[in-house]
Structure 1
Amino acid sequence: MLFGDEPPAKIAFGTTAVNRPTFPTDIAHDCFGNGQTPLRGVPNVGPGSYNNEEKTTFRYVLDQQPMSRRGYTFNARTEMRKTFEVKNNNPSPDTYQMDLTRIPEKKRAFKPFNEISERFKARARSADVPGPGSYECDVKQNRQIHMLHSFGGRAKLIPAIKTKCMALNTDKCAVCQQAAIGDYYQYRNEVLCSKCFNFNWQWQEKYKRTYLQAFQKVRDCSSIHDHAGTSAKIQLSDDKLTTKLQRKEAYLSLYWA
């Protein structure tokens, strides 16, 4: 460096020539500064710069505090303290009680100790309350839905009505020779509609009840799939709704056939 030349400015790494930014007022040039905004307002105001005489949390206002004329305070305040005004608009204790004037007076008994009153209440009629013999004592208790269990696997629901997936429903009743519509009954290759099944279950005209017990309730998949006359199927309803319907039918089948 030659004589008379000025020294170079020390501006490297933010030293004496450049003001260093501080976080409360300036934004830091990093990830922390991007996420945190700087403080707003006047940052150089200390705790002694607030106007405590104007805004305070003390019970009495400063200009209404009892002061001392002897030069010291606390237990020597000679000034008169401020008295609070008495409020007379509060409700009386009687307003919270029940108005007993509206309750009618009880009639006086004609005989002492109210001897003519009924000792026991009138018995309920048999039409209103059923008798002990009106209940079915032989009803099966603790009914549970039939589930298919496997070792180490999840339990699978056994549906009360079996769904037959077929492109075209060609099943016909073996008695009336009409197309099976809706829910019907099937045992092997023999099909019975609901009307003929209920008739034979009651009167046993063609089939005995022991043979009808082998029939299972089935239905076609027209409400779930759309085959359009082919082996392919188009989903019409959600699987969750189908599972919910199967659970409901399995539960109701425990009480109604």
Structure 2
Amino acid sequence: MEGFVYVVNPPEIPRVAFGSGMERVTLAMSGPSLTPFMRKMQGEVRDFPGPFEYFHTKGLEIKYPSTLGYSSFASKLPRLPPTNISRFPPIGAYDVELRKKPKQAARPFNVGSKYADDKKLLTPSPADYAFSKPATSLKICSAFGCKRIFWPAVAIICTPINTAKCSKCNRTPIGDYFHQFQLNLDMCRRCMKKQLRILKHCATDLFYRARMRQELNLYQPVRYCGFFHDHQGTTAAIQHMPTSILKYKIKTENYLSKYIYKKI
């Protein structure tokens, strides 16, 4: 074969060195240039170290115990990976037998005993109050602190003759009733309850309900003056209720009016 050069051994590659061809270690084996990472990765420097060459002190593992369960020099030795231990004990490790038998009650849960009747509270519960509506204030007329007049929550109409007539049933109201001062209309309590029942009925139209509520809010509670004096058909009056009892009655009604007479 012409042009073919048969080579048994490849030519030796010449060694290139700067000043010397001797083998040298590129990393430092000791000294200040040896970093902790280099010391950890280089391993054992000596080729064949003997058994007595390892650093070992006896008794330090007892004097300086570790809370993790390892010896005092465990950081210098390779650790084994922790075994996977389940959080829950096996089935056979539970103590299913009771050490002490429970005492059996003679009458469990008071079976057969009479239940005590709960006392009914006369006062309303906190949920019964309308917290969204502002609290009504008392009508008080004061003159620089020297005079203080409590206006009655129920207006008193003082006339020689009781001329009140209910605009619905055309009857004379007995006791307290409602009066509209703009149109001079009266309404007894029985007719007012009927109107409120119609207002709260689900079949009432929304427009009619809003108009009806606006009209009923104009009525204010009033009463005739015959409960504490007697006119006998004249402008004069004979008082048959003591003034002290009358003032106490007005103060009590003013306090209770905040919870009884509310806007519809």
Q: Normalization by structure 1: what TM-score?
A: 0.45
Q: Normalization by structure 2: what TM-score?
A: 0.44
